[in-house]
Structure 1
Amino acid sequence: MNQPQMRRREWMRYSSATLLSVTLAVSLAGPAAAQGKSATAAKADAGPRRILVLGDSLSAEYGLARGAGWVALMTQRLKEQQLPAEVVNASISGDTTSGGLARLPALLKQHKPTLLVIELGGNDALRGLPLASTRDNLRAMVKAGKAAGAKVLLVGMQIPPNMGPSYTREFEAGFKTVAQEEKVPLVPFLLAGVADRTDAADWFQADRIHPLAKAHPVMLDNVWKQLRPML
């Protein structure tokens, strides 16, 4: 074998070894790099959430000891299930959808929630306010939440037929209409399993409007069914 042939064979052997080394390095580093990237993404996805609850007396613990309402119970459940989320309860007794809409921009700016829970409308019905206005206000709040980068959960309500069957039906349907139009999850009825019980009178305070503390775990379960997949 002459000298040029020997040099060519040595070069080919060196090139093959180098290519094998590079291939192995890529094969080994590739999954590790991908795994590192996935871990980083997973860590970002698992970062703390901030849940803003915008509601009325049903969420503001009216007539209850502090910590007994469904929003406080939700904070406890999040901790028990080791779900990293902070809960801000911005509920005010007596609030209406127009009041919530007026308060929402400042709350979104201050708290920057990742998830907005809207539980309003009951006081609109108790006051006999126009149903179109209630729907418009709910729709505007949903839009504002989404524009701020938050997922939105709408909580529905039902009322006794005091205002007439037509008003009662249209009020309940308004929540579903807004949820469908805006493509957001809906809790059909916050008081399901409470107000529709045969012994419902035993689950409400003397005013027959605000549930007793024992009803709030049921209310949380109603919300949790829709909220948990959003976290």
Structure 2
Amino acid sequence: MNQDYMRQRTWTARVLGQVVVTLAVGLAALGASAALGGPTRTVLVMGDSLSAAYGLAPEEGWVALTAARMAREYPGWRVVNASVSGETTAGGAARIEGELTRNRPEVVIIELGGNDGLRGLPLKQTRANLEKMVSAARAVGARVLLVGMRMPPNLGKAYTEGFAANFRTVAETHQVSLLPFLLEPIAMDRASFQPDNIHPVAAAQPKLSDHVWPALAALLK
């Protein structure tokens, strides 16, 4: 009986020892991962088809290219792309609180408004939706980069100027960073767009990523 008891104690001690070693190795691995800059902080992108890589492979879009650059230069950060093709500012305003809760971002990029303009939605409505998104992000302590868009002149001078002014007004009112026009590097180059003349081709995406990068990098420091 005593021998059985001693054998049982020896077996239990051996198993516990193995568990301790396994836990120690696991914790060491986690520590090494953190030391190497594992993804611990989040950039959340709330955009439309321009950020959702419409007509392209996901890894070809400017958001994915930016995420890859971030992994190299700011390894403690990751990107969550919550962009949806066809999204309006109303859709973004309805979704943002859920995305903030799920992802707990330190930085939020808001690239919405283009579909509002193409549909001729009221400028006041677009501005209110942008303000709701910016306010929600700031309420959870996130820094915001507002990425603007411009409309073609056929919509009329009053509308196109008011549309562009919306982004400036929201950024100034809420004191957040602004990139006035996402497509600025390629806007005048027809070859940079898909046949719909709206969505950039894969070859143009690095230019968009490079355009966004300085404003974004300033928020990662």
TM-score (norm 2): 0.80
Q: Tell me how far apart the structure 2 counterparts of residues 156 and 179 of structure 1 sit (CA, whole Å).
A: 10
> What is the CA distance between 1:51 and its match in structure 2?
0.5
For this pair of structures, how many residues does the alignment match? 184
Moved over 2 A (4+): none
**1:71-150 alignment to 2 at 5 Å?**
71-150=63-142
> What is the CA distance between 1:155 and its match in structure 2?
0.3
Instruction: Tell me whether 1:229 sits opposite 2:221 in the alignment.
Output: no
Residue of structure 2 aligned with 1:58, choices 32, 45, 50? 50
Measured against aligned partners, the alpha-carbon deviations of 1:170-220 in whole angstroms (never above 9, x if no partner) come to: 10111001000000000111001101x3xx111100000000111111111
Q: Tell me how far apart the structure 1 counterparts of residues 101 and 71 of structure 2 sit (CA, whole Å).
A: 25
Instruction: Tell me whether 1:208 sits opposite 2:200 in the alignment.
Output: no
Q: Which runs of 5+ in 2 are unaligned?
A: 1-34
Q: Tell me how far apart the structure 1 counterparts of residues 71 and 61 of structure 2 sit (CA, whole Å).
A: 16
Q: Tell me how far apart the structure 1 counterparts of residues 91 and 208 of structure 2 sit (CA, whole Å).
A: 23
Letter in 2 for 1:210: H
Alpha carbons 2:43, 2:77 under 8 Å: kept: yes
Q: Tell me how far apart the structure 1 counterparts of residues 58 and 168 of structure 2 sit (CA, whole Å).
A: 31
Q: Tell me how far apart the structure 1 counterparts of residues 192 and 185 of structure 2 sit (CA, whole Å).
A: 10
Over the matched positions of the two proteins, sequence identity in percent amounts to: 52
Residue of structure 1 aligned with 2:143, choices 151, 164, 179? 151
> What is the CA distance between 1:110 and its match in structure 2?
0.7
TM-align CA RMSD: 1.4
Alpha carbons 2:56, 2:201 under 8 Å: kept: yes
> What is the CA distance between 1:223 and its match in structure 2?
1.2
TM-score (norm 1): 0.77
Letter in 2 for 1:130: P
Residue of structure 1 aligned with 2:174, choices 170, 178, 182? 182
Q: Which runs of 5+ in 1 are unaligned?
A: 1-42
